[in-house]
Chain A
């Protein structure tokens, strides 16, 4: 069974700090996605990484896919209160179109 484990589970930081969230698996994924979910809303796709070692940037967010395609990280530079939310990684299970989601990292950025 493919699993995605995220760490840390909770993170509370001050505005302006940097942080990194991790998504790990013992299985290889053809691609991984990162979502952000705000309270009372559904997850919104931020990025998809598909190549081992790939780095993608979205303003202050930097996403990296591990060389072996078993892990990914999300780094936020100079966090802002608007970054507050639940960050989820997700990936397709082998040979299917079924996506599994990670356990989530709940981020709170204090002003």
Chain B
């Protein structure tokens, strides 16, 4: 069974540029999460989807971040414009359904903003 796929793995951009990350969850998983992880720290939830509905986006900085999960499968996280402080690893995870406690993480996208 294929795991959670993320792309790109690495991205370097200049500040004020836009950037987008893509995530393909494990087949059949209804719940999808985007996390931000700063170096050496634990992941912090940005947004959680249940199918195509964003059920928790309270930690998403909506002035510059947006996300979508069309058709309840793949998801895209966008930052526009990027700031220096956005440099981090962006992790995507999925679970079979809300309340199922096993989250499967992708390898992440490491973003560097210059």
Residue of A nearest to B55 (CB): A97
| Residues in B neighbouring A106, C-beta threshold 8 A | 40
Which bucket holds chain A's interface residue count? 20 to 34
Within 8 Å CB of A104, what residues of B?
Answer: 40-42
Q: Given A42-B4, A42-B91, A44-B105, A97–B42 Cβ distance below 8 Å? A: no
Q: CB of A86 within 8 A of chain B?
A: yes
Q: Contact at B41–A103, with CB atoms within 8 Å?
A: yes
* Chain A min CB distance to B43 (Å): 5
CB <8 Å contact, B93 and A33: no
Does A92 touch B at the CB level, under 8 Å?
yes
Q: Are A48 and B101 in contact (CB under 8 A)?
A: yes
Chain B 88-108, CB-CB to A under 8 Å as 1, else 0, gives 000101000011011111111
A97 to B44, CA, bound (A): 14
Contact A31 B101 (CB under 8 A): yes
Q: Verify if B48 is at the interface (C-beta below 8 Å from A).
A: yes
Task: State whether A43 touches B105 (Cβ < 8 A).
Answer: yes
Q: Which chain A residues have a beta carbon within 8 Å of chain B's beta carbons?
A: 4, 31, 33, 40-45, 48, 86, 88, 90, 92, 96-104, 106
Q: Which of B4, B43, B106 has the most CB of A within 10 A?
A: B43
Q: Are A96 and B42 in contact (CB under 8 A)?
A: no
Asked whether, in the complex, the Cβ of A98 is within 8 Å of the Cβ of B40, the reply is: no
The complex places the Cα of A53 from the Cα of B71 at a distance, in Å, of 43
A28 CB to nearest B CB, Å: 17
Interface residue from A4, A33, A98, A102 paired with B45 (Cβ < 8 Å)? A98
Whether B101 and A42, one on each chain, are in contact in the complex, defined by CB atoms closer than 8 angstroms, is no
Out of B98, B106, B107, name the residue touching A97 (CB < 8 Å): B98
Chain A nearest CB from B110 CB (Å) reads 8
From known contacts A42-B91, A42-B106, A102-B42, infer whether A92 and B101 are also in contact, taking CB-CB under 8 Å: yes
